[in-house]
Amino acid sequence: MAEEEQESKEEQTPMPQTVKTILSWTAPGRPFQKKSKQYYATSLLIMLLVEIILFLFSQYLLMVVVLSLVFLAFVLASVPPRDFHYRISSEGITVEDHFFLWQELYDFYFKKREGADVVHVRTHAFIPGELTIPLGSIDKEHLKQALLPFLPFREIVKPTFIEKSGDWLTRTFPLESAK
Whole-number pLDDT of residue 19: 82
Task: State pLDDT tens for residues 29-77.
Answer: 999 999 999 999 999 999 999 999 999 999 999 999 999 999 999 999 9
Q: Supply the CATH number for residue 91's domain.
A: 2.30.29
Least confident of 13-17, 22-26, 119-123: 13-17
Helix axes of 37-56 and 60-78: crossing angle, nearest 10 degrees = 170
Backbone angles phi, psi at 35, to 5 degrees: -95, 155
Whole-number mean pLDDT of the chain? 90
pLDDT band at 8 (very low <50, low <70, confident <90, very high): low
Q: How many domains does the chain have?
A: 2
**What residues make up the domain containing 63?**
37-79
Q: Write out pLDDT tens, residues 97-132.
A: 999 999 999 999 999 988 899 999 999 998 888 999
Asked if the structure places residue 55 within a domain, the reply is yes
Query: In terms of domains, do 72 and 121 share one?
Result: no
Q: Would the pLDDT of 4 be above 90? A: no
Residue 147 lies in a domain: yes
Work out the percent of the chain whose per-residue pLDDT is above 90.
Answer: 77
Backbone angles phi, psi at 6, to 5 degrees: -70, -40
For residue 171, is it within any domain? no
